Structures are given as C-alpha cells and as structure tokens.
Amino acid sequence: MTYGWAILIVIIVAAALYMLGIFNPATWTGTRVTGFANIGVPSDWRYGSAGDFNITLKNSLGSAITITSVKAACGAGGTDVTLGITPGDSATIGAGGAAEYWISSVENATEGFCAPVSGSYSVSVSVSYRKGSGVYTQTDTGTVTGAVV
C-alpha cells in the first residue's frame, strides 16, 4: 500500500513538471532551427513584438548562390501570412558567406500585426536561390522557433 502511494505521488509530480514545460528542450534552448538542407541559419534571427523579422542566411553550398526571394509565414489567429523579405546590399552570397534579410512592420489586413505576443512562435522560411551562374531556381525551406521574452 505504501509503495502504491509513493508511485502515485511520483506520477503526479512528473505530470506537473511536464505541464510546466520542464521536459521541453525549447524551454531551455530558447531557439531552434529545423529544415534548411543547403541554406544555414546560424541561430541568428529576431522576431520583434512589432512584427519585424530579421534573419541571417548562410551559404552552406560549395559555390556562390544568388538569392532570388526569401519568404516567411507566421501564424496569426490560425491564418498564415506570407512576408516578402527585402535583401540587403547584395543578393549574392559567396561560398561559406552570410547575409542578413529583413522585413519591418509586418501586417495582416484582417488581423493586424503578425507578431509574437506570448508563449512561443514558429516562422516558416522559404529561400529561393540559384547556384553559381545557373538559371534554375531551387528552394530551401525550414522553420525557426523561439520563446517570446
């Protein structure tokens, strides 16, 4: 009987810790990147409360690439909003190089700002690029997540 009560208490404590997010790695790391087979995101992005989104993209291929477009989608009330991100000084990134892309004051006409409010956020990013002097556009996608602070 005593062992039964002890096991019950352990189960209740474990359930409480699970509900508090103690076993979720994102709680401790704060940020996470998934996807992106050829384009790297070296844990360098910012998603501000005003809806501004900055991301640094790293060329993980062996040759230069030309970024043709960068798009991001974030959830706002269950609706995805596509954000066109304007490249910085140059859309060409050399092998192993990196460039920052940004968008400011992201808005959705029906729901207002598409910005993190509380809890955590998840932004899906799609990068279209051409390798070297190639003519065919390739796309690399991934997701960046983080906790709102």
Q: What is the pLDDT of residues 15-38, one digit of tens each?
A: 988 877 677 655 555 677 878 888
Strand, helix or coil for residue 25: helix
DSSP classification of residue 115 = -
Backbone phi and psi for residue 67, each to the nearest 5 degrees, phi listed first: -75, 125
Going along the chain from its start, the domains and CATH numbers come out as 28-147 (2.60.40.1940)
Q: Which residues contact 81 (CB under 8 A, 6 or more apart)?
A: 73, 74, 106, 108, 114
Closest by CA position to 72, among listed 109, 50, 104? 104
Q: What is the pLDDT of residues 39-56, one digit of tens each?
A: 887 767 777 766 677 788
The type of residue at 6 is A
Query: With pLDDT > 90 as the criterion, what percentage of the chain qualifies?
Result: 7
CB 43 within 8 A of CB 33: yes
Q: What is the pLDDT of residues 57-107, one digit of tens each?
A: 888 888 888 888 777 777 544 445 555 555 544 478 888 888 887 766 554
pLDDT of residue 25: 58
Indicate if the pLDDT at residue 140 is higher than 70: yes
pLDDT of residue 8: 94
Q: Which residue has the higher pLDDT, 134 or 82?
A: 134
pLDDT of residue 119: 64
Strand, helix or coil for residue 138: strand
Average model confidence (pLDDT) across the chain: 74
* pTM of the predicted model over 0.75: no
pLDDT of residue 12: 95
Between CA 94 and CA 105 the distance in angstroms is 29
